[in-house]
């Protein structure tokens, strides 16, 4: 009887691991959304389909980061380049 319980428990564990491994991880979904935001045109509006699984807050943060990167406001270290931001703002 103990062997049957152990086998059943192992089967359930394997099944659960398989189910959670089938879908993309949240990090994969964030990466896919980032790629889609980076590649879309400036005229595009709305939340891309590839970003549907992200939380509202995560999507908003990612959209802001991608926009800042496109404007050249992020330096090679990943920090905000305030000089570039101010320069762009004064060109207006």
Average pLDDT, the chain: 81
11 within some domain: no
Residue 13 within a domain? no
Alpha-carbon gap, residue 18 to 3, rounded angstroms: 22
Q: Is residue 86 part of a domain?
A: yes
* Residue 18, domain member (yes or no): no
| 80 bridge partner residues | 74
Asked if residue 45 belongs to a domain, the reply is yes
Residue pLDDT, tens place only, 17-50: 444 455 789 999 999 999 999 999 989 999 999 9
Q: Quote the pTM value.
A: 0.67
> Which residue range is the domain that position 31 belongs to?
25-91
62 in a structural domain: yes
Q: Is residue 29 part of a domain?
A: yes
Q: What is the pLDDT of residue 3?
A: 56
pLDDT of residue 85: 86
Q: How far is CA 66 from CA 18, 22, 72, in A?
A: 33, 28, 10
Q: What pLDDT sits at residue 6?
A: 39
**Phi, psi of 86, deg, nearest 5:** -65, -40
Q: Is residue 81 part of a domain?
A: yes
**Which SS3 state, helix, strand or coil, does residue 75 take?**
coil
Please tell me the total count of domains within the chain.
1
């Amino acid at each position: 009887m103990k062997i049957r319980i152990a086998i059943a428990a192992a089967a359930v564990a394997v099944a659960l691991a398989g189910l959670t491994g089938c879908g993309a991880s949240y990090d994969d979904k964030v990466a896919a959304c980032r790629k889609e935001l980076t590649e879309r045109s400036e005229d595009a509006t709305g939340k891309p389909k590839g970003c549907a699984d992200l939380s509202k807050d995560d999507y908003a943060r990612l959209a802001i980061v991608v926009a800042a990167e496109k404007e050249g406001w992020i330096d090679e270290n990943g920090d905000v380049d305030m000089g570039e931001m101010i320069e762009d703002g004064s060109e207006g």
